[in-house]
Structure 1
Amino acid sequence: MNPPARDLAQYIANRAFIVVKAAIWAENEHGEVLLIQHADHSHWRIPAGQMRPGESIEETAHRELWEETGWTTDHMVLEGLHSGPELRQLHTSGDEDYYVIALFRTRIIQDDLVESRVNSEAGLKFFHTESLPVLNEFTQMLLARSNRKD
């Protein structure tokens, strides 16, 4: 009889991983920030995702923008690199992820294609920074850190 994985976890040392992510602060021509609504929760977040082996962090940012919005951009600027204890995620297994997040800024020009995606059920919307919806923790932290620099 094989014991369940959760029972085996007590005999295995917990591990800590460093996870590199790219996040994209995409604005329209009005300075509104693009957010994505999480499908299973009510919170919103900026586009972000994990770097894959063999990928540069810039390639990760472009891929994540494309995967999460269907849009591309020719120009992204590295806004900052974020890490620290507040970027730790503890899993139920006891393993920990420590995120290193490269935040990029870009501009999305609102044409008819952009308007059709924003005004659909895709969960994409531009918000004024003064009237943001409920954000996930990482988005709150990244936006707060970026606003301190402005």
Structure 2
Amino acid sequence: MNYIDMIRSIAGSRPLILTACAIFIQDEKGRVLLQHRTDTDNWGVPGGFMEMGESVEDAARREILEETGLTVGEMTLYNVFSGKEFYFQYPNGDEVYNVIVTFLSKDVSGTLQADHEGYDLRYFDLDSLPEDMIPTSRRMLEKLGADPSLPR
């Protein structure tokens, strides 16, 4: 039983505050990698929750490898997202207030391959995101797309 399952066995579907991580992986054209998720049937940024004793950097790299088949090299801390706009209710009723630590990387290797958590993986232009996105992912990517300090 993993950490979240253990907490859910006590709290049920009531709201939890959980620490998640994601890496905005960009290709040579500046497009960002998104995952069509099986748990929500929406597009979102690949990533997930930390496990006990894991650093956010290690968790982010682990999640990307598991969900995309890619190994992340150099990455840069981008932002921490939290607050009521990062509340999410899963289709099964589980509620979470996310604290999402995000990184940027263009340094990846391996073969892009979806796992059981995703139907598909695809790169999208920040100004042409899919309509059916997880709201929290859309909020993060809108901030990323509007950030004038990032190279294009």
For Structure 1 versus Structure 2, the TM-score category normalised by the shorter chain is: 0.7 to 0.9
In structure 1, what residue type is equivalent to 2:129?
L
More strand by share: 2
Name the structure 1 match of 2:7: none
Contact 2:73 2:107 in 1 (8 A): no
* TM-score normalized by the length of structure 2: 0.73
Q: 1:84 to 1:131 in 2, by over 3 A?
A: same
Gaps of 5+ in 1: 1-11
The DSSP-based 3-state class of the residue aligned with 1:49 is strand
Structure possessing the higher radius of gyration over alpha carbons: 1
* TM-score normalized by the length of structure 1: 0.74
Matches within 5 A, 1:87-126: 87-90=86-89, 96-108=95-107, 113-114=111-112, 117=113, 123-126=120-123
> Cα deviation per residue 1:84-111 (whole Å; 9 max; x = unaligned)?
1111235799874221000111115688
> Cα deviation per residue 1:101-145 (whole Å; 9 max; x = unaligned)?
00111115688x34xx49xx9611111122221221111011122
Provide the aligned length of Structure 1 versus Structure 2: 134
TM-superposed CA distance for 1:44, in Å, is 1.1
Gaps of 5+ in 2: 1-10
Alignment of 1:132 with 2:129, yes or no, is yes
Name the structure 2 match of 1:6: none
State the identity as a percent: 33
In structure 1, C-alpha distance between the alignment counterparts of 2:121 and 2:93, rounded to whole Å: 33
Name the structure 2 match of 1:31: 30
